[in-house]
Amino acid sequence: MRPLLAIGGEADRDPKEGDALEFATAGVLLKLGVARIQRRVRLKVKSGLHVGTRLPHAEIDLRFTWGGRLWLVDCKDRMPADNLAEGLRRMLPPLSSEQEKLFDRIRKELSINQTKVMKEDLLTVRETGGLLGQVVCVRKSELPEEVVQYARHNHIDVVQKNDLVAGLLRLLLPGRPAESEQLTGLARQFFRSAHAI
């Protein structure tokens, strides 16, 4: 019996905050049938004279092939920047109108970050996976509606941490028949909707 998870390589062995979500996602993918997953792949610009001396310009959390496509997975196991701004706002004394405008601008700048991460992932997948590359974003918290719309428009799949198994199963095996518990839940939902009318 082959091991489900074999860790190789020497780069970046220091523990990081998002490691648990990356390992959990990799574990689910392996359980669903993915044969091999690479973690923390760093992309560098190739230079003729100084190969390997440049800093990486992108890092891919998880990379694997499935169904003839290259899949890149970006995992974020932290609360969105909007929550940071709101937490700080509650700690501050009442702000003047000028301070409030500045704070709102900072909040907006922080919220742009989620879309920016997806854009960077999309660019990375285009560079490495070509037209058949697929981006999946695994997130701990719900994304703002504009970020969800951006993801949908650019064919980026978003899977919530609390729905990891079902979400990845839907992506990897889209034609799989529904299980009995899914059908039961759907029937309950329609039954409640019919009685609400």
Q: What is the pLDDT of residue 109?
A: 77
Residue 107: which pLDDT band, with cuts at 50, 70 and 90? confident
Q: How large a percentage of the chain has pLDDT more than 90?
A: 20
Q: Which of 31-40, 67-76, 184-193 has the lowest mean pLDDT?
A: 184-193
Q: Which domain holds residue 141?
A: 19-196
Which one, of 98, 69, 91, lies nearest residue 172 by Cα?
69
**Tell me, what CATH number does 45's domain have?**
3.40.1350.10
For residue 4, is it within any domain? Answer: no
For residue 151, is it within any domain? Answer: yes
Count Cβ atoms within 10 A of the Cβ of residue 90 and give its class: 0-12 exposed, 13-18 middle, 19 or more buried.
exposed
Which tokens sit at 138?
Answer: 């695994």
- Count of domains observed in the chain: 1
For residue 9, is it within any domain? Answer: no
Which one, of 82, 155, 150, 94, lies nearest residue 117 by Cα?
150
Using DSSP's 3-state secondary structure scheme, residue 53 falls into coil
- CA–CA dist 160, 139 (Å, integer): 5
pLDDT digits (tens, 9 = 90+) for 109-162: 776 676 777 777 767 766 776 667 788 989 888 877 887 888 888 888 999 999
For residue 14, is it within any domain? Answer: no
Pairing state between β 58-66 and 69-76: antiparallel
For residue 36, is it within any domain? Answer: yes
Q: Is the pLDDT of residue 8 over 70?
A: no
Mean pLDDT of 88-106: 86
For residue 61, is it within any domain? Answer: yes
Q: What is the pLDDT of residue 1?
A: 44
